[in-house]
Amino acid sequence: MTLLNDPSRQSEGVVDFGFDEIFFSRTDPRGVIKAGNDVFQRVSGYGWGELLGAPHKIIRHPDTPRAVFRILWDALGHGYPMGAYVKNRARSGDHYWVFAVILPIEGGYLSVRLKPSTPLFDKVKEIYADLCAKERAENLDPDVSAKMLWNTVTEAGFTSYTTFMASALGQELAAADQRMHRPVDPRTLRLIELNVALEQVTHEQRKLLRSFESLQSIPNNMRLVASRLEPAGGPVSAISENYRASSLVISERLRSFVTGRDNLCDRVSRQAARALFLLGADRVMADMIARFRHAELVEGIDWIAEGEGLARTREAARAESRGALKSAVEHAEELTRSSSEIRRLMLGLDTIRVMGRVECGRLRANGGGLAATIDQLDLFHAEIKTRLETILRLSEEIGSAMSRFASTEFGAAARA
C-alpha cells in the first residue's frame, strides 16, 4: 500500500494488517464506541480503556473528506446501510485504509470493515485527495462537498452512491478472495455482473432519450421544405405534423422512466443496488460472526451478546435484501414492459417515416431537401432501434437474473 502523494503526510507510516482480518465495532447513536474486536484495537493502537466509551472519530483522519461522513450519516439517519472507503489514523499517528460496511441497528450503529486493494480504491484515494484540498482551501460546507463527491460518482458512470458502494464492495470482496488464494464466491461475481448490467441499461435509456430529443428538429425541417413546395408540399406538412406529434408522445413516455425524481430506471437501480450491497454485507458479517467464537475476553465486552446482536443484524439485512430484490425485479419487469411499448410506438413512427419517403419519391426533382431530411430520419431510427433492442435484452436479462438470484443463490446464502 502506498502513501498519498502529499508532502505534508510523507512522515506518516502505514499500519499494516492482513486481507483475512476484519474490523468490527459498535457504537451508540452518538457514535460512542461500545464494543470492538481485537483487529480494531490492535490496528488502531489504542488500549481498550481508551477505546470503550470514546467517540469513534478518535480514529478519524483529516484525509477522509467531510463529504464522505455527510453522505454516510444521511443514509444511516434514514435507516439505510451504507459503505465507504475511509482513511483512519492510529494512535501512533500512522494511518490505515478500510472499506467500511455500516448498518443502523437498535441502539446505534454497527460497522464491519475489510482491507481494500482494487483499482477503484486507487482512484478513490485520488478523488479524496482532491476533495480534501478543496475543502481546506475553500472552507467548503459539508453539504457542498458532498454534492461535489456525488457529481464525481455520477460522472464516473454510477446512477447513485449506493450503486457505487455496491460495486465497490463486490470488487473488494472478489479482490480479497483472490489475494487469499481462495475461489471467488460465485455470488459475488454475479453481484458485480448485475451491477454492471443495471448501469448499462440506465445509460442506454438516457442515450435513447437524447436521440428522441434530437428528432424534434426534423419535423420543423420538413415543414420548411413543404413551405417551399406549396401547394405540392401540402402532404409533407401533414406528414411532418403527424411525425412531430407521435415522436413527442414517445419522448414524454421515455422521460417518465428516465428523468425526474424517483424515475423508473433509478428505482430499478436503487433497489437492486441496495439488495446487492446488503448481500455483500451478508458475506462480511458471516465472516465476522465466525471470528467471534475465538475472541479473547475483554473487560466490558460481552462477546456472546455481540455475536447474537450481529447475527440478528445479519438476519434483518437478509430480510431487507429480499424485499429490495423483489422490488427491483418488479421494477425491472415494468421497465421491460415500458421498453416494449416504446418499440410498439416506434412502429407507428416508422410508418410515418415511410410515408415521407414515398412522398419524396412523388416529388422527384423538387424533393431534394426532403430527401436529405428523410435520410436523417433513417439514421436516427436505425440508432433508436438498436438502443431499444439493447435495452429490452438487458431489462429481460436483469429481471431473470435477479429472480434466479432471489430463489437460488440468495437462498443458499441465507442458509449459510
| 141: amino acid identity, one letter | D
% of the chain surpassing 70 pLDDT: 90
Angle between helices 186-215 and 217-229 (to 10 degrees): 20
Per-residue pLDDT at 8: 43
Per-residue pLDDT at 365: 54
Helix (H) or strand (E) holding 68: helix 66-77
Residues 288-341 pLDDT 10s: 888 877 777 788 888 888 888 999 999 999 888 888 888 888 877 887 888 788
Quick one: DSSP state of residue 55?
B
**pLDDT classification of 41: cutoffs 50, 70, 90:** very high
Give the residue-averaged pLDDT of 144-154. Answer: 92
Asked if pLDDT for residue 148 goes beyond 60, the answer is: yes
Chain-centre distance of CA 290, in angstroms?
29
Q: Which domains does the chain have, with CATH numbers?
A: 7-128 (3.30.450.20), 186-415 (no CATH)
Q: Are 180 and 19 in contact (CB under 8 A)?
A: yes
Per-residue pLDDT at 260: 63
Per-residue pLDDT at 5: 42
> By three-state DSSP, how is residue 216 classified?
coil
What contacts 167, CB < 8 A, 6 or more positions away?
Answer: 120, 158, 192, 195, 196
Q: What are phi and psi of 27, to 5 degrees?
A: -125, 165
**pLDDT classification of 165: cutoffs 50, 70, 90:** very high
Report the distance separating Cα 400 and Cα 392, nearest Å.
12
For the chain, the average pLDDT equals 83
Q: Which three cell numbers stand for residue 78?
A: 434514514
Report the distance separating Cα 32 and Cα 22, nearest Å.
20
Q: Which three cell numbers stand for residue 359?
A: 412522398
The overall pTM is greater than 0.85 = no
Q: Which residues pair with 105 in a beta bridge?
A: 108
**pLDDT classification of 9: cutoffs 50, 70, 90:** very low
**Which of 62, 65, 116 is CA-nearest to residue 89?**
62
Residues 184-226 pLDDT 10s: 777 777 777 777 777 777 778 778 777 777 777 777 777 777 7
